[in-house]
Structure 1
Amino acid sequence: MFRLAQETADDWWEVEALYDLCFAPGREALSSYRLRDGVPPVAELSLVARDEQDILAGAIRFWPVKIGACRALLLGPVAVHPTHQGEGLGGLLIEESLACAVQENWLRVMLVGDAPYYRRFGFERLSGVVMPPPTNPDRVLGRELLDGAWDGVTGDVRSVADG
């Protein structure tokens, strides 16, 4: 059993330690991190999951980005502690946070990830949406939170800090 809650400032170091544990060294050198520089995560959608002993078991964050004149959410990172992998916690974090995104009136969400894993959550390859290099275009995936939300959205993904 997991308890989901919005990430708070008190969770920050624990969440960062979880991301360090779950991802390769140098994760912050990825192009998606350049889109996050100087931009706070979307607080309402950034969730933590704690187990029965109140130990951090998983976390997910979202960031606002722009593609042309359109706003979108950039999902990630999402991580589950190795002791809880295979229990469906990653899927729970994704689905719960996307349900919150709908309630917060976001229209579209994207990520850079493995299509076979994220397809089960409704993500598909985005053609015409370009992440900063070096990003494999086959890993740029999106999901509509409102029918037609990705229709006609093309261009470079940029940080909201860039205006």
Structure 2
Amino acid sequence: MSVQPLPPSPALTLDLEQPQDAAAIEALLDRAFGPGRFTKVSERVRELAEFAPELSFCAWEDGRLVGVVRQWRVAVGETPVVFLGPLAVEQAQRSGGVGGLLVERACDAAAAAGETAVLLVGDAPYFGRFGFGPARQARLPGPVDPRRVLARRFGEAGELAGPVRPR
């Protein structure tokens, strides 16, 4: 018998990230990932990228931040894309669908903005549910398991190939 996650609370709202959310977001990221988050290859990508606040979202429940997803403008070779991450959800809300709602909202916003694709580093079984597949020809600025480099392409976007770099 499999256990189905509880649906997100009706009190849950998803809003665009705002500058005043920064302290709450940093605290959530610290709780979710710890100080080791700054050593990951995804952080190297964010260091060279332009933040896209209009494609980044916060999940709020009863006035408390319970999740966040951020996106960044980069290019893979000559193809402009957005890089998704970090995605973080409070421990008590994990397995409850909040992360999935954030990923879907971020991808919908990227597609609506005319972006070619969303690139990320993550677990294929989790992100595959949202249309992500291998992007092994995308070269990130540091060591990474190529099986964890995933992309969701929009429209007629082809294979992403080349180094991840600033736009």
Percent of aligned pairs with the same residue? 38
Contact 2:135-2:160 within 8 A present in 1 as well? no
**2-structure distance, mates of 1:59, 1:152:** 28
TM-score (norm 1): 0.90
| Higher mean C-alpha deviation, range 34-43 or range 126-135 | 34-43
* 1:42-66 Cα deviation digits (max 9, x unpaired): 1111100100x21001000001111
**1-structure distance, mates of 2:44, 2:95:** 30
Q: Which ranges of structure 2 fall in alignment gaps of 5 or more residues?
A: 1-9
**2-structure distance, mates of 1:125, 1:44:** 26
Contact 1:49-1:56 within 8 A present in 2 as well? yes
Which of 38, 41, 45 is matched with 2:51 structurally? 41
Question: How far does residue 98 in structure 1 lie from its aligned partner after superposition?
Answer: 1.0
* 1:7-58 Cα deviation digits (max 9, x unpaired): 111000100111111114221121221222264421111100100x210010
| Equivalent residue number for residue 162 of structure 2 | 155
Contact 1:14-1:56 within 8 A present in 2 as well? yes
The amino acid of 2:88's aligned partner reads A
| Equivalent residue number for residue 94 of structure 1 | 103
Length, aligned pairs only: 157
C-alpha RMSD over aligned residues? 1.4
Question: How far does residue 159 in structure 1 lie from its aligned partner after superposition?
Answer: 2.9
* 1:84-143 Cα deviation digits (max 9, x unpaired): 112100000111111111111111111001111111011111131111221111110011
Q: Which ranges of structure 1 fall in alignment gaps of 5 or more residues?
A: none
Which of 60, 76, 88 is matched with 2:69 structurally? 60
The amino acid of 1:116's aligned partner reads P
Runs of 4+ in 1 over 3 A off after TM superposition: none
TM-score (norm 2): 0.88
The amino acid of 1:5's aligned partner reads D
